Structure 1
Amino acid sequence: MRITQTAPKNLMDSSGKPMVGQFDGIPQDLGVELFRYKNEMDNSASRWRQYFDYKQFQFVSVISDNYIIGVALADIRYLGSAFCYVYDIQNNALIEETWLRPFSIDTATSPSPYSSVAHIGGKDVQFNIVDGQWQVVLNTRNVKADLRLLPFPNQSLPLSMCTPTGYNGWTYTQKHNALRIEGNLSVLDNNVDLTRSLANYDFSAGYMRRETSWRWASINHKAKGTTLGLNLAAGVNETGSCENVFWVNGERHLLGPVHFDFVRSNDKEAQEPTRWRIYSDDGQVDLEFQSVNCRSEKLNLWLLKSNFRQFIGHFSGYIQDDQGTIHRLNNAIGLTEDHFARW
C-alpha cells in the first residue's frame, strides 16, 4: 500500500525544507522564496544561484477524434521557450510553431500549481490556473483555443508529489490525465468537436539536476464506457517515490517504478517507426508502443543543451489497477518522450 498525505498549503516547512512524498491535493504555493538553498559544500547558495537554478515547465496535450495538440512552456531563467504542435491523425501530418526568448524576456511564470498565470510570445500561449483548475488559451497561426480542463468526476485527484533531487534540490510534479474539456477549439480554421476529447496537463518545477534526462509515456483513452488515463516516467522523481499513476474513470491508482526499453535514434531515424516496451518488475504494467510520428528539437547553446523527442503512436498491452483489475489496451493512441537537458 502506498502512503499519501494531505497537501500542505506551502511546500516549504518552517525551516525552509520542502515537504516530500505523495499528496492528496494541490499545494497553494511552492514557497520558492522560503527555500534554504545550499551549495555542494553546505554553504548558503548565492542569490544568483537561488534565482537561476530554479526551473519550471508546463505542458498540455489534447486528444480529439482527428487531432492531437501538444503545447508546452518552459522557463529555465536563461531561456524561455514554448512549442505548439498539431498532429493530424488521419493524414499522419505534424505542423508546429516554436518560441525562444533569451533570459525569459516576454515570458511569465508563477511558482504555484494552484493559482498562477504563465504565458509567452505576447500571450500566444497562456496557461491560467485558478483554484487548481487549468485554462488553456492559444492564439497561434494554427490553433485558436479557450479551453477548461476539468476532472471527471469532480473529486478525481491529480498526481501531486515532491521528491529530493540531486544533492540539495527538489522537484515538485503535478499531473492529471483523462480530463474532460469545455470551451472552444479551432485547428486550421476548422472547429473541433470536444464532446469525445480528453486532455492531460503537467506542472513540474524545482531545483532540478544540472543535467537531467527522462523517459515518459502518456495515455488518454475511452473504450467500452471506461475512461483511462496513464502517466509513466523515469529519470526525475525516483528518490523514495515515483510519478507513475493510472486513472480509471477518474479514480487514481498509484503505480510502482517502470522500465523503458527502446533503441535511441538519431534525427533521421526518429521519424521512422520505433517500438518501445514499458513494463514494471511487479507485473502491473506491460505495454508495447509503436510510434507513427515524432516532434523533435535539438538545441546546443554551449552552456545549455536540449535533445527532445516526443513520439506519437499506439499502445497495446495491459495495466493492472490497485484492486487487481486488468485493463487491456489495443492500439490506444498516446505519447512517449525521450529528453536530455543541460540547464
Structure 2
Amino acid sequence: MKVDPAAAALAAAPASVVGPDGRPVLGRFAGLGRGFDWARLAPPHARNPLWRRLHHKRWHYVALATERIFCAVAIVDLGWMSTCFGYAFDRSDGDMMANFSEDGLPGRFSARLADDAGGTSRFERRATRIEIGPDGLTLRCPWLEIDAAFAPAHSPLLLATGLVPGGAVHATQKSGGLALEGEVRTWRDEYALAGGVASFDYSNGLLPRETAWRWASAHDLALGFNLQAGYFGACENALWLDGALHPLGPARFIVDRKDPMAPWHVFTEDDCLDVVFTPDGARRQDRNMRIAASRYVQPVGTFTGWVRSTPEGPKRPVERLAGVTEDHFSRW
C-alpha cells in the first residue's frame, strides 16, 4: 500500500527492518514493513542459530466483525512447533458456535508463515486448512468455514519495532479497519460478511522464554485502535482516525483477572484514549505441555468511551465498537 504522508503522523516504514549495518531500525512507522531477517542482526542484538530457532516467534491473526458475528483466526509458528486457532461468535445471542485449535508438526511441515504482512501464511494438517493473505482469509475445518475478502487499506498500516528484555528484537504490523466481503458458515447458520470490517496482526520477533501481555483491538472504517501492555511496552500503541495513523502513549488495563468477563477499563497515559470494554463472550485456553505452557483468555465485546489524536484535540465518541481484549502468558 502506498502511504500518503499527509495521512500519517508517523514516518514512512523503512526499506528493511534490519539495516545495512545489521542494526534494527527501531520505532513506529506507517506502511508495509520488509526485511524481518534476524540472522543479519549485528552485536549486541545478534544471537546464535540455535537460540534464534528456539526464540523466533511469528503469528498471523485476522479478526472479522459484523453486526451479527465476530470471528478470529490465527496461525502461529513457535520455531520448534506450530499451531492455529479459530472461532466464530454470534454477537446477537452470545453463542460461541465454533472454537477450535490444531497443533502442527515441527518445522514447516504444517505451517508456513509469510516473511512479512504482504505475503501469505498457510496451515494444513488433517482436515484443517487455513490461508491468510493481505487481501483475504480462507478457512476449512470440520466446525467452521470462512471465505473472506478484504478491500485495500484506506489508512496506513502500523509498523512497530522495538527491543524486548530477555529476548532481542520484535516487530509487528497492524492494520486499521478493512472493508469486508464474503461468508462464514457454521453448523447453525450462514453469515454474510458484506458491510463488516476486517483487521490483521502480523508479528515476527525474537522473544523471551516467558512472555506476557494484555491487548485491546477494535476497528470500524473510520476509527480503530491497537493497545498493548507487557513485553513490548507502548511500541505498538496506535489510533486510526479518519484515514490518519497516530501514535499513542503507554496503555493501562484495569481488569479483574479472576473475572475477565467483568468490564475492563483501558486508557492511555497521554490522555488520548479512555474506554470501557464490556465482554459478551470469550475464547479461553490453558495448556501445560511441560516444556511449554500458556494461559490465554480473549473476551469478545464492545468498547465505549472516547479517543482523540492529540491531548489538546477534541474527543471523538466511541460507542459500542466491536473488538477484543486479551490477557496472555506464554512459556515457549
TM-score with structure 1 length normalisation?
0.86
Corresponding residue for residue 115 of structure 1: 119
Indicate conservation of the 8 Å contact 1:317/1:330, yes or no: yes
| Letter matched to residue 231 of structure 1 | N
2:316 aligns with one of 292, 306, 327: 327
1:246 aligns with 2:245: no
- Highest relative contact order (Cα 8 Å, sep 6+), 1 or 2? 2
Question: What is the CA–CA distance in structure 2 between the aligned matches of 1:288 and 1:183, rounded to whole Å?
Answer: 30
Compute the displacement of 1:33 (Å).
3.2
Indicate conservation of the 8 Å contact 2:54/2:80, yes or no: yes
Q: Which secondary structure does the structure 1 equivalent of 2:192 belong to?
A: coil
1:28 aligns with 2:34: yes
Compute the displacement of 1:125 (Å).
1.3
| Letter matched to residue 175 of structure 2 | H
Question: What is the CA–CA distance in structure 1 between the aligned matches of 2:192 and 2:296, rounded to whole Å?
Answer: 30
Corresponding residue for residue 75 of structure 2: 73
Indicate conservation of the 8 Å contact 1:151/1:250, yes or no: no
Instruction: Please list, as runs of the form range in 1=range in 2, the aligned pairs for 1:1-343 lying within 5 A after superposition.
Output: 4-36=10-42, 45-94=47-96, 95-104=98-107, 105-121=109-125, 124-128=129-133, 133-153=134-154, 156-166=155-165, 169-188=168-187, 190-221=189-220, 227-238=222-233, 242-265=235-258, 269-270=259-260, 273-322=261-310, 324-343=313-332
Q: Which secondary structure does the structure 2 equivalent of 1:161 belong to?
A: strand
Q: Which runs of 5+ in 1 are unaligned?
A: none
Q: Which secondary structure does the structure 2 equivalent of 1:278 belong to?
A: strand
Indicate conservation of the 8 Å contact 2:148/2:183, yes or no: yes
Equivalent pairs counted in the alignment come to 321
Cα gap change, 1:38/1:99 in structure 2, threshold over 3 Å: closer, same or farther?
Answer: farther
Compute the displacement of 1:5 (Å).
3.0
Indicate conservation of the 8 Å contact 2:237/2:250, yes or no: yes
Indicate conservation of the 8 Å contact 1:315/1:330, yes or no: yes
Question: What is the CA–CA distance in structure 1 between the aligned matches of 2:93 and 2:141, rounded to whole Å?
Answer: 21
Compute the displacement of 1:341 (Å).
0.7
Cα gap change, 1:92/1:216 in structure 2, threshold over 3 Å: closer, same or farther?
Answer: same
Corresponding residue for residue 3 of structure 2: none
Cα gap change, 1:80/1:204 in structure 2, threshold over 3 Å: closer, same or farther?
Answer: same
Compute the displacement of 1:3 (Å).
7.2
Cα gap change, 1:83/1:150 in structure 2, threshold over 3 Å: closer, same or farther?
Answer: same
